[in-house]
Structure 1
Amino acid sequence: MTQLETLLQQLEQSIARHETLNQAVSQASVGWHIEHTLLTLNGIQQVLAASDPARYRWRFSLGRLVFFTFKRIPRGRAKSPEVVLPKGPISAETLTAHLARTRAILPRLAALPAGSYFYHPYFGDLRRDQALRFLEIHTRHHVAIIADILA
């Protein structure tokens, strides 16, 4: 869990420059990437908490195998689900508040039953530990994009 906490610190350091945009790197601002990452973390935690481990079904997924082997997301390839796309204005205050809510759920995320799972549109059902690895890789991906925008 410390990896996610470290990544959240890096996101927090970028909040002051949330309006920064670099079209050569991304069509979205730093604030959009922060908000999207926080929405993803919070949304997956909610789905994991509400899941019924008895309904989990393992299925082979080549995409999942490649993703967890190489631990990276190619830029500009995937389309995010509507539920994790930021809506409305993004300010430093809203990002700071959202970050505080996300930090509060991290202990609950680690404490969920190991059989908790969520459905990922490309990788299928991911159990808690896979979901935590996914969240680390996903967050690191957006932290890297933010760093490139700010460079």
Structure 2
Amino acid sequence: MKNNLDALLNQLEHYISKNETINLQVSQSTVGWQIEHSLLTINGVVSAVHKSNPKDYHWKFSLIKIMVLATKKIPRGKAKAPKVVVPKADITCADLEHHLAKARDTVKSLELVSRDNYFEHPYFGKLKLKETIRFLEIHTTHHLNIIEDIVNNK
């Protein structure tokens, strides 16, 4: 299954050197926090997909899921990140490089997963593999847009 996650990881890598950049008019978080959050999300979500049992999947209607997946947009400042994907306080470039390497391997591992495996999102419910990948692309793009706004002083 082809996805854009590799290209998005390359874009995140481009901003690692700007790790400590902050623009309080855009976000309370640094560029490093945005990168780390994106990588923690990718690594955590893919791990959950691997651990899921396709027999436990049950479709459930979710308007917010339909809206986000259809528009490919996540509204800014509307959701709070689950604690498991909230970065620690001091994020170094070395931490980011380490998590990026892990994310590259993690993304490759999606090729080995059944299309019926899933991830249970706190707001969207259960997402099968194809929807999970689309969510990760949308989520990573969302944070890349924030990073670009921080760096470009928008």
> Normalising by the residue count of structure 2, what TM-score does the alignment of the two structures yield?
0.95
Q: Which residue matches 2:9?
A: 8
Q: How many residues align?
A: 151
- Note if contact 2:3-2:133 (Cα within 8 Å) is conserved in structure 1: no
Following the alignment from structure 2 to structure 1, what is the Cα–Cα distance between the partners of residues 109 and 99? 16
Q: Which residue matches 1:49?
A: 50
Following the alignment from structure 1 to structure 2, what is the Cα–Cα distance between the partners of residues 24 and 31? 16
The SS at the match of 1:25 is: coil
Change (3 A) 1:27 1:87: same
Instruction: Among all aligned residue pairs of Structure 1 and Structure 2, give the percentage whose two residues are the same amino acid.
Output: 47
Change (3 A) 1:128 1:2: closer
* Structure 1 ranges of 4+ moved more than 6 A: none
The SS at the match of 1:145 is: helix
Give unmatched runs, 5+ long, in structure 2.
none
Change (3 A) 1:52 1:2: closer
The SS at the match of 1:126 is: strand
Following the alignment from structure 1 to structure 2, what is the Cα–Cα distance between the partners of residues 125 and 137? 16
CA RMSD of aligned residues (A): 0.9
The SS at the match of 2:4 is: helix
Q: Does 1:139 align with 2:140?
A: yes
Q: Which amino acid aligns with 2:133?
A: L
Following the alignment from structure 2 to structure 1, what is the Cα–Cα distance between the partners of residues 132 and 102? 19
Q: Which residue matches 1:129?
A: 130
Q: Which residue matches 1:63?
A: 64
Q: Which amino acid aligns with 2:7?
A: T
Give unmatched runs, 5+ long, in structure 1.
none
Q: Deviations 1:66-118 (Å, cap 9, x if unpaired)?
A: 11111100100011111000014200111011101110111112321011011
The SS at the match of 2:40 is: helix
Q: Which residue matches 1:81?
A: 82
> Normalising by the residue count of structure 1, what TM-score does the alignment of the two structures yield?
0.97
Following the alignment from structure 2 to structure 1, what is the Cα–Cα distance between the partners of residues 11 and 63? 31
Q: How many angstroms does 1:2 deviate by?
A: 4.7
Q: Which amino acid aligns with 2:151?
A: L
Q: Which residue matches 1:21?
A: 22
Q: How many angstroms does 1:15 deviate by?
A: 0.3
Q: Which residue matches 2:119?
A: 118
Q: Which amino acid aligns with 2:44?
A: G
Q: Which amino acid aligns with 1:75?
A: R
Q: How many angstroms does 1:60 deviate by?
A: 0.6
The SS at the match of 1:80 is: coil
